């Protein structure tokens, strides 16, 4: 059986990743908790509008994690829906 990484901590500046929380060893910034989901999870796709135009090149899981880390008390923008 293949193990799927469901939680990863990513630095928002240099994108170094680790399986444990803590500051980035390169930047000293706290890593962002990300939940990329399984291989078929739709949050692995970049968000697009009703016409199929990409709203970002980043996957939804990254946008969701970054927004939650930066604006913890604000609602997610509409692009959160894949």
Instruction: Identify which of 66, 61, 50 has the alpha carbon closest to the alpha carbon of residue 6.
Output: 61
- For Zn ion, the binding residues in 18-47 under the rule CB under 5 A are 24, 26-27
Determine if 10 is a binding residue for Zn ion (CB under 5 A): no
Q: Which is nearer to Zn ion, 4 or 29 (CB)?
A: 29
Shortest spacing between CB 75 and Zn ion, in angstroms:
27
Residue 80 Cα distances to 31, 34, 47, 68, 76, angstroms: 20, 14, 7, 11, 6
Q: Which is nearer to Zn ion, 31 or 64 (by Cβ)?
A: 31
Instruction: Report d(CA 69, CA 61) in Å as an integer.
Output: 12
Residues at the interface with Zn ion (CB under 5 A): 11, 13-14, 24, 26-27
């Amino acid at each position: 059986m293949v193990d799927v990484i469901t939680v990863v901590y990513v630095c928002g500046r240099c994108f170094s990743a680790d399986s444990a929380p803590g500051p980035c060893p390169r930047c000293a910034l706290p890593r962002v908790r990300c939940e990329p989901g399984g291989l078929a999870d739709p949050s692995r796709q970049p968000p697009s509008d009703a016409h199929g135009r990409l709203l970002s090149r980043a996957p939804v899981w990254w946008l969701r994690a970054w927004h939650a880390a930066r604006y913890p008390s604000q609602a997610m923008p509409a692009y959160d829906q894949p």
